Chains A and B, each alone.
Chain A
Amino acid sequence: MTAFVRTTIEAGVAVVALDRPDVRNALTPDMLEAVREAPSVAERDGARCVLLRGAGPAFCAGFDLTLCQDDDNAVGVLLTGLSHAIAALRDGPLPVVLCAHGAAIAGGAALLGGADIVVADASAKIGYPVLRLGISPAVSAPFLRLGVGDGACRTRLIDTKIHDAVAAERIGLVHELTPNAEAAQAKATEIARSLASKPPSAIAATKRWLNELDQAAGDVRARALEASLSLPGGAEERERLIAMWNAGR
């Protein structure tokens, strides 16, 4: 387990908080593993809804790329962990509300794909700028395409521009906008508690059926991870990643 993900149960809601605020909750493999396990742990502990949020000024800035310094395969491990975490949020029986306050960038934005309902403050920055780093965002594509449609999905993944949440709400990537980050946390909590109060069998059956409809044309998630992992990663590339990451902070 990791100290960087904290889970508490409040009013039937398992509040899963990314808790590494000094680096804007940059994701490690352990954190992704904790997110992956969160839905089944929450269900076991009697929660009826999962609320995924971040501590500090932003939801999540993406992968902790400093890990590349010592590990050739760090990006591959992170991408695999991310793919599994998104799938676990989506496939579990509990509804998932996500509060993308402040910023949800790269791997942080990808996590939105696993949520049923996304809340953000109007000025939150949301985007998938990983092509800039030579990483393919393919792992997000199956979820993003379902959420926003084909046109917006292509634009968002291929163009590395980061938009605010107002634009994300317009395309359906964010479902509820608030004027500020504090209000986003409150709204996400309110929605999660409302979902937790609804009949659990009906919610589970409805989510299961929506998941099945999503995959009526086939499950492309494994293929999407493969596409993201297929890029070569050499020492030179790793240095570039680390340099860019440091420059961006």
Chain B
Amino acid sequence: MSDAATLTIDGATATITLNRPDARNAMSADLLEGVAAALDTLERDGEDVTVVTLIGAGRAFCAGMDLKSVLNDPPSSEVLLSTLAEMTLRLRALPAVTIASVNGAAIGGGCGLAMVCDIVLSHADAKLGFPEVDLGACPAVVAPWLVRRIGAGRARRVLLEGGVMSGERAHDLGLVDALAVDREGLAALTNETVQRIAVGGPQALRATKALLNEIDGSLDEAMMRKAAAISAEVFMGDEAQSRIRARFADA
């Protein structure tokens, strides 16, 4: 099992930690494998878990897809994107309430992962956003989740404009539900929120989440397969490849 993501369970609460701090927790095949293993465990043995917190180790939440790992092997991006698409569905389908504690940068697919969660917490200085179009890529996998979270109108603006925004702006636009002033404050806010939710009746929480998933049609597998195919196709195109190469040449 990969330790690029770890799971700890403590009674009714669990934490999935994205754990590649040196790479700002960028989504490599390893990290996705680690999250998948955590989801396996929760699906198998997590019947007593009421709240799952998703957080990044170190200073970032998740810097997005590990572009370096796919730079010399573009077809592997297709695997990465379909793995991510599938993972968003599994995370959404977890019976437990999911909380993203966005402790630092949450970029592209990393921000998308937060958008899948039931509740998103962050702090004023965190950086969130979807700069995919700036790189010539298409944020198709994250789009359905952002649309559900902030509405189709605002999502259109955020995704077409690209770039990143402060935690404060993300809170104004509805990407983030509650905002702490800083990183330390976020730890307290997260803890407080987890404890408050864990008090709720487990059956009632599950029934409520299941209904919300049903109402917004968020477990649509065909839609996510198509999203992954669109993202991969654009990613492998000349426009994206030349921009991504140029970016790494600069760095």
Contacts and interface: CB of A to CB of B under 8 A. Distances in A.
B138 interface: yes
Contact of B133 (A147, A206, A214): A206
Contacts of B136: 199, 201-202
Residue among A116, A149, A172 having the largest count of chain B Cβ atoms under 10 Å: A172
Contacts of A191: 161
A209 B217 contact: no
Given A209-B230, A210-B152, A210-B155, A199 B143 contact: no
A216 B152 contact: no
B227 A198 contact: no
Contacts of B48: none
Contact of B157 (A116, A198, A202, A209): A116
A117 interface: yes
B147 A210 contact: yes
B223 interface: yes
A205 B161 contact: no
A62 to B, nearest CB: 21
A247 interface: no
Interface in B194-220: 217, 220
Nearest to B174: A172
Contacts of B162: 198
Given A146-B152, A205-B138, A117 B157 contact: yes
B158 to A, nearest CB: 9
Given A117-B157, A206-B160, A213-B143, A201 B239 contact: yes
A163 to B, nearest CB: 16
B156 interface: yes
B97 to A, nearest CB: 23
Contacts of A216: 217, 220, 223
B243 A175 contact: no
Interface residues of A, number: 27
- Chain B interface SS verdict (over half): helix
Contacts of B138: 202, 205-206, 209
Contacts of A172: 151, 153-154
B7 to A, nearest CB: 32
A203 B153 CA distance: 16
Interface in A133-159: 146-149
B152 A213 contact: yes
B154 to A, nearest CB: 5
A95 B160 CA distance: 8
A173 interface: yes
Nearest to B133: A202
A175 B152 CA distance: 12
A195 interface: yes
Contacts of B187: none
Contacts of B234: 201-202, 205
B152 A202 contact: no
Given A199-B243, A202-B138, A205-B230, A117 B161 contact: yes
Given A175-B154, A207-B160, A210-B156, 9 more contacts: A148-B153, A149-B151, A173-B153, A199-B134, A201-B136, A201-B239, A207-B156, A209-B138, A210-B152
The 3 closest A-B pairs by CB, nearest first: A147-B153, A199-B136, A146-B152
